[in-house]
Structure 1
Amino acid sequence: MLGDISGLEKIYIVCGYTDMPKSIDGLCAIIEDQLKMDPSSSALFLFCGRRRDRIKALFREADGFVLIYKRLAIHGG
């Protein structure tokens, strides 16, 4: 099922800011180059944008990668 994270073993929060226009390939490169990890592992990787109101989640399913993008609603006052 698309987006089913119940089988994932670990969750990693990538520290620092991530360039939010990055695609699956760009995020996989961060996982490989900076974290020295395999993006195909049974893990969920979370990335945060500079404004801290955007989050991307990346994980691998049997038939390919899933990229979830969330823009948080920031309410003032």
Structure 2
Amino acid sequence: MRQLRGIYLVCGKTDLRRGIDGLVDVVKEQFELNPYNHALYLFCGTRKDRFKALYWDGDGFVLLYKRIEDGRIQWPTNQDEVRKLHAKQLTRLLSGWSLDASVRPFWPSKKEVKSARQ
């Protein structure tokens, strides 16, 4: 996967009984993307404890299947969306973190408030 040109997460649930040809059809027909572009396409099933990854390596497709033994993946649910990810986002997703931003309140320190007033 040295030539990896992108990581695409197919949101929502995908029937993981699909093989290579079925997943290629999802990429081409449903999302109008090119499955031959050396990108990694990720698909998740209903249970969110397993996913498949599809990759064109130049002379054929590679299909990876992973089952999480303990826990679930925080997979986005919008069926009509594909998200382009960075490697760091993929790592976060596979570590159990959500891709959707969570907003944390910011409380400035006394020092920051004082310097802002000057």
The interval holding the TM-score normalised by the smaller chain is: 0.7 to 0.9
Larger radius of gyration: 2
Shift of 1:74: 1.6
Does the Cα contact within 8 Å between 2:52 and 2:66 map onto a contact in 1? yes
Paired residue for 1:71?
Answer: 67
Paired residue for 1:28?
Answer: 24
Shift of 1:71: 0.6
Shift of 1:6: 2.5
* Identical aligned residues as a percent: 48
1:56 aligns with 2:52: yes
Using the alignment, how far apart are the partners of 1:31 and 1:45 within structure 2?
A: 8
Structure with the higher helix share, 1 or 2:
2
Does the Cα contact within 8 Å between 2:41 and 2:55 map onto a contact in 1? yes
SS of equivalent to 2:12: coil
SS of equivalent to 1:12: strand
Structure with the higher strand share, 1 or 2:
1
Shift of 1:9: 1.1
- What root-mean-square deviation, in Å, do the aligned CA atoms of Structure 1 and Structure 2 show? 1.0
Q: After TM superposition, where is structure 1 displaced by more than 2 Å over at least 4 residues in a row?
A: none
What TM-score do you get using the length of structure 1 for normalisation? 0.87
Using the alignment, how far apart are the partners of 2:58 and 2:9 within structure 1?
A: 22
Using the alignment, how far apart are the partners of 1:6 and 1:49 within structure 2?
A: 27
Q: Which residues of structure 2 form unaligned runs of 5+?
A: 72-118
What TM-score do you get using the length of structure 2 for normalisation? 0.58
